[in-house]
Amino acid sequence: MKRVLLLASMLMAFTIGLVIGPILAQEISTVSEFDPGSGQLPEGLAADRQGNFYVGMAPTGEIVKVTPDGAVSPFSTLPSPGDGFMTGIAIDRTGSLFVALASFVEETHGIWRVSPDGSTTERFSALDVAGLPNVPALDRRGNLFVSDSFLGLVWKIDQDGTASVWKQDAMLEGDGSGPLGLMVGANGIAFDNNGKNLYVANTDLGMIVRIPVLKDGSAGEALPVLADPALKGADGIAFDVRGNLYVTVNSQDKIATVSPQGDLSILAEGEGLQFPASLAFGVGRESQNLYVTNFALLRASGIVEGPPEPALIRLVVGVPGRPMP
């Protein structure tokens, strides 16, 4: 079922020089629908250089490939996360996927690597089983950074799979105030357009945090960019080419934007959104479209009334996303 959400107004923000806010076209459409009865609750999302999307089904470990026209096919499967979730996905220059698996089991918990054709999988890096690895992001050197929602930190994983704590800070910790009653702190992460800062969304605190990347690659002081009740439930984040940050606000069924000056706007909310989680811009002719996974977790678990409608949706924003590193 396809839905179109017409919002009430158009937002256009002007700033000095090249930093210009987006012109926001008000349309949300469904690219692909999924079956909640089969455990198809999509969380992780990544786009390759050909414009295909890779969507991770959190409860099952299944990854599907979605073409730009919405055709869905099986791609790969990780070990079942059991009582945990398969969470975020990142993709490197070769087309290999790096997938976070929060299984809480020593043998499977951590970051998995999936070959470009989906035929082989291996655990790339084992992480502390007490944590919840959530969202991976690659820097320009091919190092992997991974948010850990339970431990309130960001891991750095070298190209050989060696993991170390890159940054731990109180601003990355959760307080358990979300609808699931879990301590969910650091969640979505993204490098800015020059790669000099790593931005982190804190789900429980409704906060965006900026962490400078120092010349030696270490982390600088964590700095709050914005904390607002409208961001409580902040999940995935992504930058456009103008430095605007897009934020899914899962428990509030919203998508927000934060300008380079720290101004908050609500891009979409309500109908057409069900616990939006990860997001990624399209490529090529689709680069001005923002793609989002409707995780539908609260409806699937009965916390929110109504039928779950998990899906990959498209939001036309009119500004290209930041190019892949």
Task: State the chain's maximal CA–CA distance in angstroms.
Answer: 52
Residues constituting the chain:
325
19 in a domain, yes or no? no
Question: What's the pTM value of the predicted model, to 2 decimals?
Answer: 0.91
pLDDT 10s digits, 143-190: 999 999 999 999 999 999 999 999 999 999 999 999 989 999 999 999
206 in a domain, yes or no? yes
Number of domains in the chain: 1
Which residue range is the domain that position 90 belongs to?
A: 28-316
pLDDT at 27 over 90: no
Tokens 């909640």 map to which residue? 36
324 in a domain, yes or no? no
pLDDT at 180: 87
For 282, other C-beta atoms within 10 Å of its C-beta total 19
80 in a domain, yes or no? yes
192 in a domain, yes or no? yes
299 in a domain, yes or no? yes
What band does 26 get if pLDDT is binned at 50, 70 and 90? low
d(CA 162, CA 290): 33
d(CA 168, CA 176): 18
**What CATH number does residue 143 fall under?**
2.120.10.30
Helix (H, G, I), strand (E, B) or coil at 38: helix
Give the chain's mean pLDDT: 91
pLDDT 10s digits, 260-282: 999 999 999 998 999 999 999 99
283 in a domain, yes or no? yes
When pLDDT is averaged across residues 11-17 and rounded to a whole number, the result is 27
Single-letter amino acid code for the residue at 78 = L
When pLDDT is averaged across residues 16-43 and rounded to a whole number, the result is 73
17 in a domain, yes or no? no
Helix (H, G, I), strand (E, B) or coil at 230: helix
